Structure 1
Amino acid sequence: MSEHETAQGTPAVALFTADLRLHDNPVLHAAGRGGAAVVPLFVVDEAIARAGFAVPNRAAFLADCLADLDAGLRQRGGRLVVRRGDVAEEVGEVVAETGARQVHIAAGVSGYATRREDRLRKALAGTGCELVVHEAVITAAPPGAVTPAGRDHFAVFTPYFRRWSAESQRKVLDAPRRVRVPEEVRSAEPPSAADLTGPGGGTPSPGLPRGGETVGRKLAGTWWRTGLQDYADRHDDLPGDATSRLSPYLHFGCLSATELVHRARTAGGAGAEAFVRQLAWRDFHHQVLAARPDAAHRNYRTRHDRWRAAPEEVAAWREGRTGYPIVDAAMRQLQHEGWMHNRGRLLVASFLTKTLYVDWRTGAEHFLSLLVDGDIPNNQLNWQWVAGTGTDTRPNRVLNPLLQASRFDPDGDYVRRWVPELADLEGAAVHQPWKLSGPDRARFDYPDPIVTLAEGHARFTRARGLDG
């Protein structure tokens, strides 16, 4: 028996990525199978910061997640091993230090994730250590598991959802009772948000939620009892804020999509069905990007758009000063919380791409700079869906912000919450303050619309060749 071997065999490495949890984690479960020693490893990859993806909101949330993961492992006799540097190099060093024969990792679909996996394989080649990639860790269904005949992915959600719903899912795994970590493995302390962003990294949004599996499971439990059954009727209710708010915890893997699907199906009812459908949308986007990785930055379906360069209008959109209160309210919620209601996301994306006729990539980049749940598959492909260059079967639909406001914020409560300069306006009048005149209009430090809806619609129809 070598110096690294134990009675249960050589240790294995569980490389945490977007699966920062102990419950239902196939990576950790497989690495510690049979009571073997395991190295629960997280590498702070400096390449992410250099690429601009380690923005303050996600960095702060990630720091919470890692601290919580470390605490959970310590409660089970283990600890989180933290390294900083190049992922492949750091994993190689851990393998050399411990004599590990396997490195377990969750499969990912982003360009970064696939490149990381390739580099790990090359780094481990010839070492006697196997890279084991686990599917259905980040998503409920593996990206390539649900495909139509003769094609590598579904391009339309509804047939995908039918097939996805008929697929059996893996069993939900319990959290480990004990985790044994080799004592000799060196580790840094779990990083702070500043450690993750580096000097001059910026300040997180003031209303940012706390990260971590503990918080995520508590939030899920509360919402399960109080919000799930009404979800089908209320998920678009902007002032009611009746969504689960679980997306950041799913993005970082603090919660398992597989476990949530199982729990929802067990609960049953229209609300549970609607919630499962949203989880399927998340899987749908992952399988699209897995098959078409260039869709992260290029049109999935080109409309031959010649997008406008409108820096002043884009700045007004980013700052929540477009003159359309429902749009501005959603953009200000994003600034304050690092999160936005899903209906708000649809509204502001439609306004940017189809009323202002600005490239969807401009909006996607801004979202990724703030969203705590911002990830490449869902962010980029949702933006393309709204812009009409993605998988939407009605690519030229335009969401009218006034009609949307009357439907999803009929009394104006959402607007008054996020646009305080309009808080004194009563009822639905808050959605069209430009209709006020004289002293009433002068009371509000709020801009007129940067474009009329008629002008925006005419410009869009001309650009798409829809004006006949």
Structure 2
Amino acid sequence: MNVSVVLFTSDLRVHDHPPLRAALGRGNQVVPLFVRDPAVDRAGCAAPNRLAFLADCLAALDAGLRERGGRLVTRSGDPVAEVCAVVRAVDADDVHMAAGCSGFAQRREDRLRRALEADGRRLYVHDGVVTAVPAGAVTPSGSDHYAVFTPYFRRWSHERLREPLPAPRHVRVPDRIRSEEPPAPSGVPAVSAGLATGGEQEGRKRLTAWLDRDADTYEEGHDDLAGDATSRLSPYLHFGAVSATEAVHRARSRGGPGAEAFVRQLCWRDFHHQVLAARPGVAVDDYRTRHDHWRRGKAAEADLRAWKEGRTGYPVVDAAMRQLAHEGWMHNRGRLLTASFLAKTLYVDWREGARHFMDLLVDGDVANNQLNWQWMAGTGTDSRPNRVLNPVIQGKRYDPDGAYVRRWVPELAGIEGPAIHEPWKLTGLERARYDYPDPVVDLAEGLARFRRARDQD
């Protein structure tokens, strides 16, 4: 009897899952396997919000497999050792998994391939599972990746995507294979109070509801901070509970400017993954160095602390940082604003901000988080190195009546209209009513400091 192993990583679903369907096509039985790797903890990537969301995703994946007669096998330890142990226990012929983009994922694949081949087994790595278009599938002449988004988007848009695969009807798992108890969300400490529920069923429900309700207005409304019209699918895409390929197909089938704007955002996700796959070092190093002389010392540390706590004195920045702390998620416009404020107005190293985001974001993804931070810091791809977002102007533009600020900075709720974005301009007695800090820096002074520092090189 032929047996195959499917190693789940960032693809925690049964719908549109090429490795699972390929394994079922080759073997009479499969072992759906997830390995909890302690190296993730040691690397500092096991943030509580993602661990809780992961537990939801694993429970949903197990439920989806059980509906089809199977189950999820979970283990803890080095993934190569655990996969090889499972392979030997069931005498599997091969292992199937989705291709990864990070240096960590690439090294794991190489180690696993060598170990299996030494034992006479084979590893099949499937592209286009985590992203809609596989990393490296489209490249410009003379390079292994695109460094500018617009030409990448043109090529990406003309790629023929594979058709989404239906979930299998039956999954047969060998009886004799041992499994650990999967992690429980309730056992994870320090989780954000407003964290969303994870899992494939929840992700598919959200995708359908958003396409039906908000897709048509997405193009004009996706930057509206208070309107909150974004899909909020990023955590489900990060864990693979929703297929990026299926999301593109479903949006395109709906049509319209809003759906196309949504597809463009999915392309940004693929763009960053193809950069990371080609340049794994950008997870920590500048893609294009500007030889920044980042601020250090006690004053910079105090500014960083105020930024993290949502106490900078700039209401829209503080609102976004408090949303991050409460939900483990932040509106995309908020991410741009807070990143620009830290890296340029405060001139603190973008890596400090990226690390804080990775500590809290449920969708914390190395490719998208690090490269979006670099894009705003001016050290990344396709960036405008000297552009600085003014939080007052941005607040008035994207939160014109202050509803977003009032939601997350309740101590300013008594200020009506756009004046909420400049509380320091209130008269003395009125200003004294609000328990809210003065700005940590004058915007003009911060801009001048940034330009002087950039001009030193």
For the criterion TM > 0.5, the same-fold answer is yes
Cα deviation, 1:84-124, whole Å, max 9, x if unaligned, reads: 11100000000001111110011111121112112211221
Q: CA deviation at 1:194?
A: 6.9
> For the residues of structure 2 that align with 1:19 and 1:279, how far apart are their CA atoms?
16
CA contact (8 A) 2:4 2:27 kept: no
CA contact (8 A) 1:104 1:132 kept: yes
Find the counterpart in structure 1 of residue 167 from structure 2: 175
Find the counterpart in structure 2 of residue 102 from structure 1: 94
CA contact (8 A) 1:239 1:414 kept: yes
Equivalent residue for 1:435, pick from 425, 433, 454: 425
SS of the equivalent of 2:339 reads helix
Moved more, 394-403 or 341-350: 394-403
Pairwise mapping of residues 27-176 of structure 1 onto structure 2 (< 5 A)? 27-33=19-25, 36-176=28-168
Give the TM-score normalised by structure 2: 0.98
The one-letter amino acid of 1:307's match is W
Equivalent residue for 1:383, pick from 373, 382, 388: 373
SS of the equivalent of 1:379 reads helix
Q: CA deviation at 1:465?
A: 1.3
Count of aligned pairs: 454
CA contact (8 A) 2:320 2:338 kept: yes
SS of the equivalent of 2:455 reads coil
Are 1:303 and 2:290 counterparts?
yes
Q: CA deviation at 1:34?
A: 5.9
> For the residues of structure 2 that align with 1:51 and 1:360, how far apart are their CA atoms?
19
Are 1:272 and 2:262 counterparts?
no
Are 1:236 and 2:226 counterparts?
no
Give the TM-score normalised by structure 1: 0.95
Find the counterpart in structure 1 of residue 346 from structure 2: 356
SS of the equivalent of 2:118 reads coil
Pairwise mapping of residues 239-250 of structure 1 onto structure 2 (< 5 A)? 239-250=226-237
Runs of 4+ aligned residues of structure 1 deviating over 4 Å after TM superposition are: none
Q: Which runs of 5+ in 1 are unaligned?
A: none
Find the counterpart in structure 2 of residue 227 from structure 1: 214
Find the counterpart in structure 1 of residue 9 from structure 2: 17
CA RMSD of aligned residues (A): 1.2
SS of the equivalent of 1:464 reads helix
Pick closer, same or farther for the CA change 1:237–1:287 going to 2, 3 Å. same
Find the counterpart in structure 2 of residue 420 from structure 1: 410
Cα deviation, 1:292-344, whole Å, max 9, x if unaligned, reads: 11111100001010100210000000000000000000000000000000000
The one-letter amino acid of 2:199's match is G
The one-letter amino acid of 2:438's match is D
> For the residues of structure 2 that align with 1:76 and 1:193, how far apart are their CA atoms?
24
The one-letter amino acid of 2:341's match is F
Cα deviation, 1:244-267, whole Å, max 9, x if unaligned, reads: 000000000000000011111111
CA contact (8 A) 2:376 2:383 kept: no
Find the counterpart in structure 1 of residue 443 from structure 2: 453
> For the residues of structure 2 that align with 1:194 and 1:245, how far apart are their CA atoms?
23
Pairwise mapping of residues 186-205 of structure 1 onto structure 2 (< 5 A)? 186-193=178-185, 202-205=189-192
The one-letter amino acid of 2:346's match is L
Q: Which runs of 5+ in 2 are unaligned?
A: none
> For the residues of structure 2 that align with 1:54 and 1:393, how far apart are their CA atoms?
29
Cα deviation, 1:418-462, whole Å, max 9, x if unaligned, reads: 000001111111111111122211110000000000000000111
> For the residues of structure 1 that align with 2:69 and 2:16, how far apart are their CA atoms?
19
Identity %, equivalent residues: 67
> For the residues of structure 2 that align with 1:325 and 1:364, how far apart are their CA atoms?
21
Are 1:281 and 2:245 counterparts?
no
SS of the equivalent of 2:62 reads helix
SS of the equivalent of 1:363 reads helix
